[in-house]
Structure 1
Amino acid sequence: MAELYLVRHGQASFGADNYDQLSLLGQQQGQLVGEYFAGRNIAFDHVLIGTMNRHRQTVEAIFDGSNDVAKPTEHRGLNEYDFVALFDGLGDEHHELKLLAKESKKDFYKALRQVLLLWMEDRIEGPIPETWSQFQQRVADARSYIQGLKGRILAVSSGGVMAAIAQQTLGAPREAVIPLNLQINNCSFCRYFFNADSFHLATFNSIPYFDKADRQNFITYG
């Protein structure tokens, strides 16, 4: 059986003009992941990332921590959905949701939960980059690509993709993506075992490298 470590990117720049950049804490999170892999002699035969800055920056931080060097392969199926575009696509009847998303970080996630459900139900009337079905298909394509590889694979992606892969693997209803997505920690990993015919989830949202009293500040979600 081949093995996949699917890692969420480190903390990004929530509230900044460009979210798609790791914060200093996000870089440190990635380095701790790399140290964890190095300390357990976990090496990878393939490294995959999405095309987003935070994915590349995270894998670079992991390599800094592990003293590893590899050239990652990009796959757009590992890219996050465009949550800004989903909010922008809301009509006037959902004006309050747009306002809620601009309040606190907690309020943003309350609004996001509702927007994701609207997206799944094809109820966002404005222009958006992709439908829910298209998102699901490109995530499935990424999983199929991974399933064609052998050995041990590291893939760096985002919370929505990780939740969708777990939902697809478990055969859970589409609505399960929302609570799965919103609980995934930065730089956590999901571990899968697979071959050409099967794909099995072994662990979900693991953060063993942050499980220390002096590292509680590394447990983040954005």
Structure 2
Amino acid sequence: MAELYLVRHGQASFGAANYDQLSSLGRQQGQLVGEYFAERNIVFDHVLLGTMNRHRQTAEAIFNGSTAVPTPKEHRGLNEYDFAALFDGLGDEHHELKVLAKERKKDFYKALRQVLLLWMEDRIEGPIPETWSQFQQRVADARNHIQGLKGKVLAVSSGGVMAAMAQQTLGAPREKVISLNLQINNCSFCRYFFNADSFHLATFNSIPYFDRADRQNFITYG
């Protein structure tokens, strides 16, 4: 069977004007992922990325100094949902969620949990880039594309996509995407085995390269 390592991007620039950039720590996280693959002689036949800067920058950090890397190919199905646009689409009746999202980081995640549920229930009345169903479909499209590949595949994506792919693979209720999404670490991976007829989740949110006493500061979520 073929094998997929689906990796979340490194720590991005939470709270900055442009979130879609890796922090210095995020680049270091990516380098540690690359060292992990190199130490185990894990060589990829295919590399897929979302179209976001943080996806490309994470892949660059993973393969820093490596010359034997397949040319990365982009797939928009690996892009994160636009959480800022979801907040912008809220009506006046949910004004408190917009306020909460601008408070502390943990308050943002409390608000995001509620906004994601509203999105799933088609209760965001303002204009948004995509519906929940459309997001689910493009994640499914990315999975179907991967299933057409052979060998070892690396895909760099984001937490929402990783959660949705796990939920779809396991046949779990859609609400599980929220709890899965909000626990995914930066630069963690989900490992899948697959062929043209089946797609199996083997590990979820794995961070073996940070599981050391001197690397606890590398365990981040944003």
Short-chain TM bin: over 0.9
Query: Hey, what does 1:17 align to over in structure 2?
Result: 17
Q: CA deviation at 1:154?
A: 0.2
Instruction: Report if the CA contact (8 A) 1:2-1:195 is conserved.
Output: yes
| TM-score normalised by structure 2 residue count | 0.99
Separation (CA, whole Å) in 2 of partners of 1:167 and 1:61: 28
Query: Hey, what does 1:196 align to over in structure 2?
Result: 196
Instruction: Report if the CA contact (8 A) 2:44-2:70 is conserved.
Output: no
Query: Hey, what does 2:179 align to over in structure 1?
Result: 179
Which 5+ residue runs of structure 1 have no aligned equivalent?
A: none
1:106-157 CA distance string (max 9 Å, x none): 0000000000000000000000000000000000000000000000000000
Query: Hey, what does 1:41 align to over in structure 2?
Result: 41
Q: CA deviation at 1:71?
A: 1.6
For the structure 1 residues 193 and 137, does the alpha-carbon distance in structure 2 shift closer, same or farther, using more than 3 Å as the test? Answer: same
Query: Hey, what does 1:2 align to over in structure 2?
Result: 2
Query: Hey, what does 1:104 align to over in structure 2?
Result: 104
Alignment of 1:1-222 (within 5 A): 1-64=1-64, 68-222=68-222
Instruction: Report if the CA contact (8 A) 1:79-1:157 is conserved.
Output: yes
Instruction: Report if the CA contact (8 A) 2:45-2:70 is conserved.
Output: no
Q: Find the residue that maps to 1:183 and give its secondary structure.
A: coil
1:132-190 CA distance string (max 9 Å, x none): 00000000000000000000000000000000000000000000000000000000000
For the structure 1 residues 218 and 146, does the alpha-carbon distance in structure 2 shift closer, same or farther, using more than 3 Å as the test? Answer: same
1:48-78 CA distance string (max 9 Å, x none): 0000000000000000165653320000000
Identity of aligned residues (%): 89
Aligned residues: 222
Q: CA deviation at 1:201?
A: 0.2
List structure 1 runs of 4+ shifted beyond 2 angstroms.
65-70
Instruction: Report if the CA contact (8 A) 2:101-2:108 is conserved.
Output: yes
Which 5+ residue runs of structure 2 have no aligned equivalent?
A: none
| TM-score normalised by structure 1 residue count | 0.99
Root mean square deviation, CA, Å: 0.8
Letter in 1 for 2:166: A
